[in-house]
Amino acid sequence: MKIILLGPPGCGKGTQAKSLMEKYRIPQISTGDILRSAVSDQTPLGIKAKGFMDNGELVPDDLVVQIVEKRLKEPDCSRGFILDGFPRTVGQAESLEKSGVLLDAAISIEVPDDEIMKRLAGRRTCRKCSAMYHIMFDPPEKEGICDKCQSELYQRVDDKEETVKNRLIVYRNQTEPLIEWYSSKNKLHTIKGTGSIKEIFNNITEVIDSI
Ligand code: AP5
Ligand code: MG
Ligand code: ZN
């Protein structure tokens, strides 16, 4: 089962991917999480990526394509995977296809911009396990502490209002063309991304179970 979750920043890709991973027992591959951990470890990749990420710009294709190709060769991907935040440009999608990876479905989660601004302003992320919370919509049991691993929650630097606005522009210009691209390959499924996290999850699993 090879699935990609597409959609604007804050549409719920990470939230849904984590539940899908538990249900289907396949890994979530989030290029954002991989890059953030490279930045925090100050690896050569992290040093190159940091400036792009802090400004809400995309990291160059060649860097991300390499990370994903390497990750997909690991044994836990043999039964399938959920790609969260990759591909993000038509170039990345073409590279994935050239490397022989054929997807079963691209699921596009649609959320209006005003809702995205609210979601990202209140998001909190776990430093250790990268679980997501929202101070109003999905709060942790204890303020500032991850329910799953008891580590500290933080606010992503790219969740500042100005940076979110830029991420939305980048999404429209560079990522949205993928919707047409997957549609032309008959792989596209569109899901309404507003409503409860559970409702959206049920709609996504309905799509996956029908493939
Ligand atoms: P990345 O980490 O992928 O960020 P993104 O795509 O901007 O998406 P987010 O992680 O912000 O949102 P999400 O859709 O996962 O939403 P979430 O579930 O957290 O990328 C970050 C950066 O890395 C990029 O800007 C770029 O620089 C670089 N990068 C990454 N991949 C790249 C690539 N392939 N190529 C080049 N560069 C790349 O939910 C958001 C909030 O909403 C949470 O607080 C959550 O609790 C809440 N929420 C979720 N669902 C609901 C709901 N139904 N109702 C109410 N609240 C909800
Ligand atoms: Mg995410
Ligand atoms: Zn945690």
3-state helix, strand, coil in the chain (%, to 5): 50, 15, 35
How sure is the predictor about 73, in pLDDT bands with cuts at 50, 70 and 90?
Answer: very high
Rounded to the nearest integer, the mean pLDDT of the chain is 97
Kindly report, residue by residue over 2-35, the tens digit of the pLDDT.
999 999 999 999 999 999 999 999 999 999 999 9
Q: Where are the beta strands (DSSP E) in the chain?
A: 2-6, 28-30, 81-84, 105-110, 123-126, 132-134, 153-154, 188-192
The stretches of 73-133 forming alpha helices (DSSP H) are 90-98, 113-121
Strand duo 153-154 + 105-110: pairing: unpaired
The residue-averaged pLDDT of 62-68 equals: 96
Which of the residues 71, 156, 160, 187 is marked catalytic? Answer: 156
Instruction: Say what percent of the chain tops pLDDT 70.
Output: 100
pLDDT given at position 14 = 97
> Which amino acid residue places its CA nearest to atom 17 of ligand 1?
12
Q: Which atom of ligand 1 lies closest to the CA of 60? A: 36
Q: What is the SS3 assignment for 191?
A: strand
Nearest C-alpha to atom 25 of ligand 1 is from which residue?
A: 56
pLDDT of residue 105: 98
pTM to 2 decimal places: 0.97
Please give the pLDDT value at position 53: 98
Torsion of CA 150, 134, 10, 205, to 10 degrees: 80
Catalytic: 123? Answer: yes
What tens digit of pLDDT does each residue of 124-145 get?
999 999 999 999 999 999 999 9
Across 20-110, where does the E strand assignment appear? 28-30, 81-84, 105-110
Q: What is the pLDDT of residue 49?
A: 98
Residue 167 annotated as catalytic: yes
Residue positions counted in the chain: 211
Ligand at shortest distance from the CA of 15:
1
Task: Kindly tell me the sign of the dihedral angle through the C-alpha atoms of 186, 14, 24, 72.
Answer: positive
And the tokens for 207? 């799509």
- Say if residues 82 and 165 touch (Cβ distance below 8 Å): no
Report pLDDT for 12: 98
Active site residue 13: yes
Tens digit of each residue's pLDDT (9 = 90 or more) over 171-211: 999 999 999 999 999 999 999 999 999 999 999 999 999 99
Residue 11 contacts by C-beta under 8 Å, 6 or more apart in sequence?
109, 110, 111, 116, 193
